[in-house]
Amino acid sequence: MFNTLKPQAPDKILALMGQFKADPRPTKIDLGVGVYKDATGLTPVMRAIKAAEKQLWETETTKTYTALAGEPAYHAAMAEMVLGADYPKDRLSALATVGGTGACRQGFELARMANPGCTIWVSDPTWPNHLSILSFMKQDYKLYRYFDNASRSVSFDAMIEDLGAVKPGDVVLLHGCCHNPTGANLTLEQWGVVADLLEAKGAIPMIDLAYQGFGDGLDEDAAGTRLIASRLPEVMIAASCSKNFGIYRERTGILMVLTDAATRDVTQGTLAYLNRQNYSFAPDHGARLVTMVLTDPALRAEWMAELEEVRLGMLGLREALAAELRQLSNSDRFDFVAKHRGMFSRLGATPEQVETMRVDNAIYMVGDSRLNIAGLNSETVPILAKAIIASGA
């Protein structure tokens, strides 16, 4: 039977990681995989997480099953972090998931259960996994234009024009902050326009929030999400703790759903049902650590301080790279690097130019010219800037 299986196309970013590992050049620079790295190239366990793990090891008395949808304390701590302290408790359902990926998957499943004929609208470009999950599910989706390759900023008029075709009950997937792969984000004013449009259309926003705290700050990065949540009657939010808590392999995420209060209980029950059908309980270890960090004032302060170090470090690298490129190109055409937010920027280089940088300079970025800013340090910024100019990008 299994000889009927066909080889699957390898994940491009994971394939790039393999290529990087095999490159013997000591000067190689990895700007590919979407993982935060400090100046020494390490993805550290955050200090507050380490402390919480120690505390948990000392105090945990059982590892029996927890609630199918995850612990209510985790739901509450995450809802407060994402939506603010005054979130509408009577309208919120929540589900602990296997990372942010699991939250996206369960959100798509929920949408399909509620409205089997819906179309899911996705930004062009987006995180490739959105598209591959939707294709695997045989779920209808459409792309809306998002990025202007000339200015390397959001092509907002085109986005609004495309979303004009959204039907009632369709789902519109939006990146809450730090858009992956472009780094180009909506202003709060633009979020307001999107909210007006979706409200008028009767569409359901689904916000993928995978980098809260990596852009302009913890609250600032949730501002668009909070605006949408305050305006629309029904909203889905798929949040990941992988990046902002540095717990990638613990697989910690959450799907939050806002409905009217009368629909809340059946929604919550459906979410638990979805976990049951797919894998039963989501991993608990990461969710428990996140709850401890968010609810213990000392751990929370330590975590926020480290998250801020991470955020400011990436902003500093952005500014240094933009300044270097301004000098070398004698123009302001790369200033977008300093304006983008989060871990990624789409450079706008051609696949050939990206390949030239790999062959000539051992610089690895994704083929669409997405580069991970956190892969740089003060020594490699000038090397990258020279390589970008030399490639003709």
Closest-approach residue to ligand PMP (CB): 99
CB of 241 to ligand PMP, least distance (A): 7
Lay out the site mask for ligand PMP across 159-178 (x = CB under 6 A, - = otherwise): ----------------x---
Which backbone phi and psi does 37 adopt, to 5 degrees? -130, 145
The reply to whether 210 sits near ligand PMP by the rule CB under 6 A is yes
Binds ligand PMP by CB under 6 A, chosen from 106, 212, 242, 291: 242
**Exposure string for 347-378, b = 16+ CB within 10 A, e = fewer:** bbbeeebbebbbeebbbbbbebbbbbbbbbbe
Among 106, 180, 225, 361, indicate the residue that binds ligand PMP (CB under 6 A). 180
Q: Does residue number 250 form part of the binding site for ligand PMP (CB under 6 A)?
A: no
Establish if 183 lies at the interface with ligand PMP (CB under 6 A): no
Q: Is 219 a catalytic residue?
A: no
Among 70, 253, 283, 286, binds ligand PMP (CB under 6 A): 253
**According to the binding rule CB under 6 A, does residue 182 interact with ligand PMP?**
no
114 in catalytic set? no
Of 210, 223, 287, 338, the active-site residue reads 210
Look up tokens 């968010």; give the residue: 294
In angstroms, the Cα distances linking 128 to 216, 262, 290 are 24, 36, 27
User: According to CB under 6 A, which residues from 17 to 46 bind ligand PMP?
Assistant: 34
Burial status of residue 173 (CB atoms within 10 A of its CB: 0-12, 13-18, 19 or more): buried
Q: Decide if 34 contacts 342 (C-beta within 8 A).
A: no
Instruction: Output the 3-class SS for 110-172.
Output: HHHHHCCCCCEEEEECCCHHHHHHHHHCCCCEEEEECEECCCCEECHHHHHHHHCCCCCCCEE
Kindly state whether residue 100 participates in binding ligand PMP, applying the rule CB under 6 A: yes
Interface residues for ligand PMP in 36-95 (CB under 6 A)? none
215 binds ligand PMP (CB under 6 A): no
φ, ψ of residue 95 in degrees (nearest 5)? -140, 125
123 touching ligand PMP, by CB under 6 A: no
Q: Which residues bind ligand PMP (CB under 6 A)?
A: 34, 99-101, 104, 127, 175, 180, 208, 210, 240, 242, 248, 253
- The catalytic residue positions are 127, 208, 210, 243
